[in-house]
Amino acid sequence: MSENGSAQATGGSRHDLETMSYEVRDGIALITFDRPKARNALDVPMRRELASLVSEIRDDDNVRAVILTGGGGVFCAGGDIRGLSEERTSAQSYKRIADLHVWLPSLVNLEKPVIAAVDGPAFGGGMNLALTADFILASDTARFCQVFGRIGLVPDLAGMYLLPRLVGLQRAKELVFSGRTLRPEEAKDMGIVYSVHSSDQLLDAAFALARRFCDASTLAIGLSKNILNQSFNLDQRAMAELEAMAQALCMDSTYHKEAVQRFLDKEPALFDWERMNKEGSGA
């Protein structure tokens, strides 16, 4: 793959999608939201297509990392306001949100690294969609906002679960109650954003980060992610049980055995984060 992330798709692409594009480049899945007239707002068809892709990626052993991004200088402007204006009963509104949580946990707990490359607005559900990622990379034009209160709603798309885990309860309340807009540097200071880049370098940076995971143990990363995501909900004893079972699985893996042998033979490790970071930066 070229350094600018422009390599041809090598794992396949989907041409039957209406609201987004999908391709796999050298083991990295790229999902690009593509509803320019609606500023990539999350409507029902977009939810369904994203759910389908998450399921497909979960079962594709060739995918080692995932990038979520938006086309046209917008990540996702939130929910589809036109759709919100439709008349519906309370039961229908409840189902509309409950249906999100049929597939959303599969994205939050996808046992592969997920990177959100946020350029432009990530408002409301768009911000919370970014929060499902393990790492958020933001452009210098990115904007984040829990905009729900401005139209008399509460955060959805798991925002009230994900946001306090990143910024703490008091700060999460401030962002939700105020509905104020965050610029990327402040979002980085809060722990929401992992790194900030210029718009023209954002996708390059996302691919550079994703490539670092391509030689890692997907089993070890997947189990670590799964357990870490439960760390605020379980007691120490339950976490210890999960730790022991996960370690037993990893110790029995071919990857671990080969890694140990490479160490004993004084060969370079397959997965070396610092070395890959230097190679990616040209240092």
Q: pTM of the predicted model, to two decimals?
A: 0.92
CB 229 within 8 A of CB 242: no
Q: pLDDT digit string (tens) for 49-72?
A: 999 999 999 999 999 999 999 999
Q: How many CA atoms lie within 13 A of 263 on its CB side?
A: 8
Query: What is the residue-level pLDDT of the chain in tens, covering all 283 positions?
Result: 333 333 334 556 777 899 999 999 999 999 999 999 999 999 999 999 999 999 999 999 999 999 999 999 999 999 877 766 678 899 999 999 999 999 999 999 999 999 999 999 999 999 999 999 999 999 999 999 999 999 999 999 999 999 999 999 999 999 999 999 999 999 999 999 999 999 999 999 999 999 999 999 999 999 999 999 999 999 999 999 999 999 999 999 999 999 999 999 999 998 988 877 776 654 3
Domain ranges of the chain: 12-211, 218-281
- Rounded Cα–Cα distance for residues 118 and 6 (Å): 18
**May I ask the CATH class of domain 12-211?**
alpha beta
pLDDT tens across 151-201, in order?
999 999 999 999 999 999 999 999 999 999 999 999 999 999 999 999 999
CATH class assigned to 218-281: mainly alpha
Say if residues 108 and 159 touch (Cβ distance below 8 Å). Answer: no
- Residue corresponding to tokens 């990893």: 250
